[in-house]
Structure 1
Amino acid sequence: MNNLIFFFMIFSGIYSFISWRKHIFMSLMSLEFLVVFFFLGFVFVMGSGLNMFVSLVYLTYSACEGALGLSIIVSLVRGSGNDLFSSSGLIQC
């Protein structure tokens, strides 16, 4: 039953990433949702010992990745006024 819940959460994160692709912030939030559930999967599967160290390193990197994504979003919103992909200059290149 736990595997069914885990796969449901993963697929709901992927679906939200696909359905909110116009807004950068919502895309990053759905990716963070996926990162947290992969971390929970690591914790439940690996158990304790050295494997817990690996999962904590993964959690540290994911926190740094989230902070970097949030800082990019803040600079994008300050520069363009919104977080839409269409208003940024990335697609127009």
Structure 2
Amino acid sequence: MFMYMVFYLMVFSAVFSFVMNYNHLLNSLLSLEMISLSLYFLMGLGYMVLGMEIYNLLYFLVMLVCEGVLGLSILIMIVYGYGEDYMKSFSVLMC
């Protein structure tokens, strides 16, 4: 029961960090990775408690890696194009 509370606290703190640090793209990506890793641990704990197979966790982990690679490649393209990762300086977002 204590582990569930710890992982829920990790999810909520990562969501809070994502909401508070939305100006920088790198901070947003780190917060999203924290959310997804804490959900991964929460799913793993739930699968172990229920005695289920953990093949779904492998698929989820592959999706996490793909999400991380895509986010970093977008970050590199934005920094290369604009020179910084500060979100309010992009002319695309000024609608």
- State if a TM-score over 0.5 links the two structures: yes
Give the CA RMSD over aligned residues: 1.3
User: Cα deviations across residues 54-77 of structure 1 (Å, max 9, x unaligned)?
Assistant: 111000011011000000000100
Q: Using the alignment, how far apart are the partners of 1:2 and 1:49 within structure 2? A: 18
**Alignment partner, residue 4 of structure 1:** 5
> TM-score with structure 1 length normalisation?
0.91
Q: Secondary structure at the match of 2:84?
A: coil
Is 1:46 equivalent to 2:44 in the alignment? Answer: no
Tell me, which stretches of 5 or more residues in structure 2 are unaligned?
none
Q: Percent identity?
A: 30
Q: Which one has a larger percent helix, Structure 1 or Structure 2?
A: 2
Tell me, which stretches of 5 or more residues in structure 1 are unaligned?
none
**Alignment coverage as a number of residue pairs:** 92
Q: Where do residues 4-23 of structure 1 align in structure 2 (5 Å cutoff)?
A: 4-23=5-24
Contact 2:4/2:42 (<8 A) preserved: no
